[in-house]
Copies of this chain bind each other. A is one copy, B any other.
Amino acid sequence: MTTIYDVAERAGVSAATVSRVFNGTRVSPAKAQAVREAALELGFVPNGNARRLRMGSSQIIAVLIPDIENPFFTALTRGVTDIARAAGYSVMLGNTDESAELEAELVAAAVGDSVAGIIVAPTTDSTDYTLPLTRGVPVVAVDRDAPLVNIDVVIADNVDGARQAMKRLKALGFTRIACISGPAHVMTADRRAEGWALEWEEQHGSPPPDELCLRVPYSIEGGRVAAQSLLCLPEPPDAILAANNRIAVGTIRHLMSIGRDLTEFGVASLAELPLILFEPPNLVVLPQPARRLGTLAAQLLLERINGSTEPPRTVIVPSEGSETLASSW
């Protein structure tokens, strides 16, 4: 382990000078040059832990997401890393696995590592971020609200997304549009179901029948089961609004498995279907602004890191515009 002292000795200067060279403080060109050479020859790598200990903070942003295997969150993370890197920050990723305990643990670890800030998709709507906040570590909630604390929040306009999808289905001629959304008390799922109900009321002049909105896990199986039971209704729907991509896939698979004619049944997915093989005729895809959520969250966080004390803002990111898959082929 070569330290600044080794470099200093080799360059014939003091450790302080070496430190200055690496931190941009003015040093005479001759010594600066000597230090750089010595550092190179010795393969000097600054010790981040000592640096952070001394400075009390780091150029690291912690990103805490529920599932690294979910394309939505990886796209979001990508947005964060883009902005972070441009600003000279690196990103530490944590997987909360939708577990509140794990999330709390990771938040504490991030604080202990004196990260510069935290971007988190809260696992529950009752998570508490006073720990970092009281220590001056800014937190930005992304994708989901954090009602208990007063922080910046960046979320997609899920209500509007659902309504837009409904409108597209209506434009395709469908009128009795059911809704399969995610679990109750999951904010995105709640909002999407809400948007569905609002739009239904606008289209029909009356609230939607309760039985037309099912809440299931955000999974393929959830979509499959829900689609099945919706189709068994006395008055079955002629289209289904799926609140995320997995539910949409489950829905379509069920429709195909029972040989349903997809030219006469509409499906909307409130998320992209990345490696889809073909575009069913009446499929409406409303891409989620995942990466944009990430970039915005990172920007807000950087503002806080740089000392902004504006009152916390909630940024609602509009849908990326409904579009059929064809346009992205």
Contacts and interface: CB of A to CB of B under 8 A. Distances in A.
Interface of A: 1, 43, 45-50, 52-53, 56, 58, 68-69, 71, 74-75, 77-78, 81, 90-95, 108-109, 111-114, 131, 134-135, 220, 245-246, 249, 252-253, 256, 273-278, 280, 329
A53 B46 CA distance: 12
A327 B299 CA distance: 44
Query: 4 smallest A-B Cβ distances: which pairs?
Result: A93-B93, A49-B52, A49-B53, A48-B112
A253 B48 contact: no
A181 to B, nearest CB: 18
Given A48-B109, A276-B276, A277-B277, 6 more contacts: A1-B56, A47-B112, A49-B58, A69-B78, A249-B275, A274-B274
Contacts of A112: 45-48
30 contacts: A43-B131, A45-B112, A47-B53, A48-B109, A48-B112, A48-B113, A48-B114, A49-B49, A49-B50, A49-B58, A50-B53, A68-B68, A68-B81, A69-B71, A69-B78, A78-B95, A81-B95, A90-B94, A92-B92, A220-B275, A245-B275, A249-B275, A253-B277, A253-B278, A273-B277, A275-B275, A275-B276, A277-B277, A277-B280, A278-B278
Which of A49, A74, A81, A92 gathers most chain B CB within 10 Å?
A49
Given A71-B69, A93-B92, A253-B329, A108 B45 contact: yes
A131 B45 contact: yes
A46 B109 CA distance: 8
A260 to B, nearest CB: 12
A249 B279 CA distance: 12
Contacts of A275: 220, 245-246, 249, 273-276
A277 B253 CA distance: 6
A111 B108 CA distance: 23
A4 B68 CA distance: 34
A253 B274 CA distance: 13
Given A249-B277, A277-B252, A277-B278, A74 B69 contact: yes
Nearest to A283: B277
Contacts of A78: 68-69, 95
Contacts of A278: 252-253, 256, 277-278
Contacts of A252: 277-278
Contacts of A93: 91-93
